[in-house]
Amino acid sequence: MGLYHHCVFPYLLDFAMGSRVFDKPRKRTLARASGRILEIGFGTGRNLPHYPPGVSRIEAIDPDTDLDRFSGPRIAASSIAVDFHHLNAEHLPFTGESFDTVVCTLTLCSIPDVVHALGEVHRVLKPGGRFLFLEHGLSPDADVARWQHRLNPLQQRIGGGCHLTRDTVALVGQSGLQLHDAEHYYLRHIPRVAGYMTEGSALKA
Ligand SMILES: C[S@@+](CC[C@H](N)C(=O)[O-])C[C@H]1O[C@@H](n2cnc3c(N)ncnc32)[C@H](O)[C@@H]1O
């Protein structure tokens, strides 16, 4: 797993995250990003081209140093200034109530202690601040969900800790954030076990 995780997985991840099927969902999700912005789980930097024109600077975190070979050149080529840190979302060093927007795409599935991480999102958002999310997760369809539970252990091993069975809306609700809007759909061209999407936003009261 060491060699796979360090040398193979980053390429697979960047390839998968670069799929055109995510372009429109990313653009829609990021359209409401404004003010001081934090992106958690920056990955290989695939969101950068999808921020709206008014965004000129973001802070971003991701713990995986193996992704730097992809994210570094994208940060360098972007017109957006990215203040990047190797950090886990479970322990953010930022002052409370200091961000207007926190962005999270295709990442709640991979954070080991996702409840703690969402608590941190709640803490660092200003009152009235927005959490913007685009996530795959547990399907409401029993047949799909059964396969998600079956394949979940394998997915975690080959997918960098990615879970197929997380319920995005329930997790956001537990964090103290107030769900504002959520769209659910299956992505075309992606197996249903990995393609049940939840896209939306939540607000800090
Ligand atoms: C499937 S990738 C998504 C990357 C990017 N958000 C995108 O949309 O292309 C999941 C990301 O979550 C990151 N991740 C894993 N554990 C994390 C943690 N504890 N805190 C923050 N990010 C984490 C991984 O390193 C990886 O970059």
> Domains of the chain, with CATH numbers?
2-203 (3.40.50.150)
Name the residue with the closest Cα to ligand 1, atom 10: 107
Q: With a 6 A CB cut-off, is 120 part of the ligand 1 pocket?
A: no
pLDDT per residue as tens digits for the range 98-126: 999 999 999 999 999 999 999 999 999 99
What distance in Å separates the CA atoms of residue 96 and residue 122, rounded to the nearest whole number?
Answer: 9
Cα of 63 from ligand 1 centre, angstroms: 8
State whether the beta carbon of 67 lies less than 6 angstroms from ligand 1. Answer: yes
Q: What is the C-alpha separation between 34 and 25, in angstroms, rounded?
A: 17
Asked if pLDDT for residue 1 goes beyond 80, the answer is no
Looking at the CA of residue 159, tell me the nearest atom of ligand 1: 1
Condensed to tens digits (0 to 9), the pLDDT of residues 137-152 reads 999 999 999 999 999 9
Calculate how far, in angstroms, residue 141's C-alpha sits from the geometric centre of ligand 1.
Answer: 26
Listed residue (34, 25, 32) closest to 46, CA to CA? 25
Confidence of residue 78 (pLDDT cuts 50, 70, 90): very high
- The span from the CA of 102 to the CA of 121, in Å, is 7
Strand pairing of 196-203 and 178-186? antiparallel
Q: How confident is the model at residue 60 (pLDDT cuts 50, 70, 90)?
A: very high
Mean per-residue pLDDT for 14-30?
98
* DSSP H or E segment with residue 153: helix 142-158
152 pocket-lining for ligand 1 (C-beta < 6 Å): no
Using an 8 Å Cβ cutoff, are 46 and 67 in contact?
no
Average pLDDT over residues 62-75: 98
- Cα separation, 195 vs 193, whole angstroms: 6
In this prediction, residue 41 has a pLDDT band, given cuts at 50, 70 and 90, of very high
Question: pLDDT averaged over the chain?
Answer: 98
Pocket test for ligand 1, best of 38, 62, 67 (most atoms within 8 A of CB): 62
Q: Which amino acid is at 93?
A: P
Q: Is 172 exposed, middle or buried (0-12, 13-18, 19+ CB in 10 A)?
A: buried
CA–CA gap between residue 181 and residue 183 (Å, rounded) = 7
Tell which residue, 6, 7, 44, has the closest CA to residue 26.
44
Q: What's residue 80's pLDDT? A: 98
How do residues 87-100 score in pLDDT, each as one tens digit?
A: 999 999 999 999 99
- What is the distance in A from the centroid of ligand 1 to the CA of 107? 5
- Statement: residue 173 has pLDDT above 90: yes
166 pLDDT higher than 70: yes
Ligand 1 neighbourhood includes 66 CB (under 6 angstroms): no
Find out whether the beta carbon of 29 lies less than 6 Å from any atom of ligand 1: no
% of residues, the chain, pLDDT over 90: 99
Tokens of 143: 């047949």
Strands 81-85 and 57-61: parallel
